[in-house]
Amino acid sequence: METTKDINRIKVVLVEKKRTNKWLAEQLGKDPATVSKWCTNTAQPSLERLLEIANVLEVDVKDLLNSSR
């Protein structure tokens, strides 16, 4: 059975910043369902979108990614 690996930490950073998926969706002009998929790691944002998310959340883009090591 294949397990999905958590690639991004968007949900964790949202919790740390006391923000919601809905808030992030509004800031980015995206559908809340899209942001939800990013938070559950069922889909991944593009690199450009990840940079935009980092700017909105005022974090380094590296904070949004799990280490590959």
Q: Which of 54, 68, 67, 69 is nearest to 10 (CA)?
A: 54
Query: With DSSP H G I counted as helix, E B as strand and the rest as coil, what are the percentages for the chain, rounded to 5?
Result: 55, 5, 40
Query: What is residue 1's predicted lDDT score, i.e. its pLDDT?
Result: 47
Query: What is residue 3's predicted lDDT score, i.e. its pLDDT?
Result: 52
* Residue predicted with more confidence, 52 or 1: 52
Q: pTM of the full predicted structure?
A: 0.87
Query: What is residue 36's predicted lDDT score, i.e. its pLDDT?
Result: 97
Mean pLDDT score, 43-48: 95
Mean pLDDT score, 31-53: 96
**Phi, psi for 47 (deg, rounded to 5):** -60, -40
Half-sphere exposure (Cβ direction) of 9: Cα atoms closer than 13 Å? 16
Give, in order, the Cα–Cα distances in Å from 53 to each of 12, 19, 20: 13, 12, 13
